[in-house]
């Protein structure tokens, strides 16, 4: 099944246009991947990067500084919640680096890196949104 392009948030696009980020192509690729994987997510700017929320609850934030790599932070928002006893989702691939049982990071340094992990990333996004 081919994923369709989605409408990107114009404010996020303008924010990124003003940055002249060296990994802009990778940022755009990740924006498309996140929003095509989970079209119910809304995109905005938070913590100086693209942020994705569902029903006003932040779930994934793109860390774009420093400009050596792009990190997707999988989280449950800024509000302190009870910590789950186990990792919120499973990742047998090792793409996610766990900071806590409810917070993980995926790092991408190139388009090839994103393409290599595209299917895994899509599955992780779906799992995260379902569980977080």
Q: Which domain holds residue 54?
A: 10-131
Average pLDDT, the chain: 94
Is the pLDDT score of 121 beyond 70?
A: yes
pLDDT in tens, 11-66: 999 999 999 999 999 999 999 999 999 999 999 999 999 999 999 999 999 999 99
Q: What are phi and psi of 100, to 5 degrees?
A: -160, 170
CATH number, domain of 76, equals 3.90.1150
Residue 2 in any domain: the answer is no
Structural domains in the chain (count): 1
Residue 3 in any domain: the answer is no
CA-closest candidate to residue 32, choices 11, 60, 54, 3? 3
Residue 83, pLDDT score: 85
CA angle, corner 127, sides to 8 and 100, nearest 5?
Answer: 100
Residue 98 in any domain: the answer is yes
Q: Does the reported pTM lie above 0.85?
A: yes
Residue 1, pLDDT score: 44
């Amino acid at each position: 099944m081919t994923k369709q392009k989605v409408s990107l948030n114009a404010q996020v696009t303008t924010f990124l246009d003003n940055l002249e980020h060296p990994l802009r192509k990778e940022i755009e690729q990740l924006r498309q991947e996140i929003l095509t994987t989970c079209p119910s997510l809304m995109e905005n700017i938070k913590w100086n990067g693209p942020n994705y929320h569902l029903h006003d609850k932040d779930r994934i934030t793109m860390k774009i500084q420093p400009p050596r790599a792009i990190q997707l932070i999988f989280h449950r928002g800024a509000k302190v919640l009870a910590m789950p006893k186990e990792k919120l989702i499973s990742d047998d691939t090792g793409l996610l680096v766990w900071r806590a049982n409810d917070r993980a990071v995926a790092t991408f340094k190139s388009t090839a890196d994103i393409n290599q992990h595209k299917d895994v990333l899509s599955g992780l996004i779906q799992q995260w949104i379902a569980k977080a």
